[in-house]
């Protein structure tokens, strides 16, 4: 269930966040005389003007970040005015929440479907490459180093080095970067890993191409892995630590 999208909360929240993170904003470059921006047509004349304009900037930045590209400003101003004056509004607050929730869900679905389609197209082309094997589940893998040791079972614990990337090449996790392999349970990881490592002889290094349904699904993981994302892992099976 999505949280209600309340404009008043967004105003206060956005203002607070911007105040707390101001130092993280990139410094503005000094404007050259030839590119000096023109002054606003109407400058704030009092505190009310300044507050109104500041809130407009804050809300505008938030809406832009949420992917809102167009609004009917006449309707927006009308609703704000009616609410502040306690005049009757076209929607009550619950109806307003429902409208915004539908919009948010629609936007999320578009992003999710686009991410899935990108993954589908990638996997369709990737499986045609020499050296890539696809299993019945849709997992694809490529043998980078062929090991000769035993294969772990579903109930085994293993020690591995790995790195994980999105299709655009962005790395979201890596034991190599941390300088230390990890020990995990074969059954305690995403489905694509669980399937793949049981096929790997110890000493192997494989590149795994894992569709979203075998990874983190529609929910994604944290801020770095979006919902519906197809993932690429390099996995090096160092040893079986327990069966």
Residues 6+ apart with CB under 8 A from 203: 145, 147, 148, 149, 237, 238
Rounded CA gap, 108 and 66, in Å?
10
What's the rounded Cα separation, in Å, for the pair 102 and 158? 45
Of 122, 172, 218, 234, the active-site residue reads 172
216 is catalytic: yes
With CA atoms as reference, report the closest residue to 225 among 173, 187, 177.
173
> Where does residue 182 fall: left (phi above 0), alpha (psi -120 to 50 degrees), or beta otherwise?
beta
Instruction: Name the active-site residue from 7, 103, 190, 218.
Output: 190
Active-site position among 103, 173, 176, 184: 173
62 is catalytic: no
Q: In this structure, are residues 210 and 145 in contact, taking their beta carbons and an 8 Å threshold?
A: no
Question: Catalytic residue among 209, 216, 225, 240, which?
Answer: 216
> Is 176 annotated in the active site?
no
Give, to the nearest 10 degrees, the angle between helix 7-20 and helix 47-65: 90
Active-site residue, from 162, 210, 232, 240:
162
Query: Does the annotation count 53 as an active-site position?
Result: no
Residue 190 annotated among the catalytic residues of the structure: yes
22 secondary structure, DSSP code: G
Q: Of these residues, 62, 158, 233, 240, which one is catalytic?
A: 233
Look at phi and psi of residue 121 and say left if phi exceeds 0, alpha if psi is from -120 to 50, else beta: alpha
Any idea which residues carry the catalytic annotation?
162, 172-173, 190, 216, 233
């Amino acid at each position: 269930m999505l949280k209600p999208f309340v404009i008043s909360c967004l105003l206060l929240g956005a203002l607070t966040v911007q105040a707390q993170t101001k130092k993280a904003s990139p410094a503005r470059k000094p404007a050259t005389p030839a590119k000096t921006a023109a002054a606003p047509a109407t400058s704030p004349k009092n505190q009310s003007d300044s507050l109104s304009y500041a809130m407009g900037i804050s809300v505008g930045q938030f809406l832009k970040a949420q992917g809102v590209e167009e609004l009917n400003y006449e309707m927006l101003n009308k609703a704000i005015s009616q609410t502040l004056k306690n005049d009757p509004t076209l929607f009550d607050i619950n109806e307003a929440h429902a409208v915004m929730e539908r919009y948010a869900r629609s936007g999320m679905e578009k992003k999710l479907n686009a991410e899935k389609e990108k993954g589908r197209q990638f996997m369709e082309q990737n499986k045609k490459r020499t050296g890539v094997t696809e299993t019945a589940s849709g997992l694809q893998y490529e043998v980078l180093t062929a090991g000769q040791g035993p294969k772990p079972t579903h109930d085994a614990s293993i020690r591995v080095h790995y790195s994980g990337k999105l299709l655009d090449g962005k790395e979201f996790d890596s034991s190599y970067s941390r300088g230390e392999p990890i020990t995990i349970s074969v059954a305690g990881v995403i489905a694509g890993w669980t399937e793949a490592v049981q096929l790997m002889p110890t000493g192997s290094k494989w590149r795994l191409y894992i569709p979203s349904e075998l990874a983190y699904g529609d929910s994604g993981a944290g801020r770095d892995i979006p919902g519906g994302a197809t993932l690429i892992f390099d996995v090096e099976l160092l040893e079986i630590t327990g069966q």
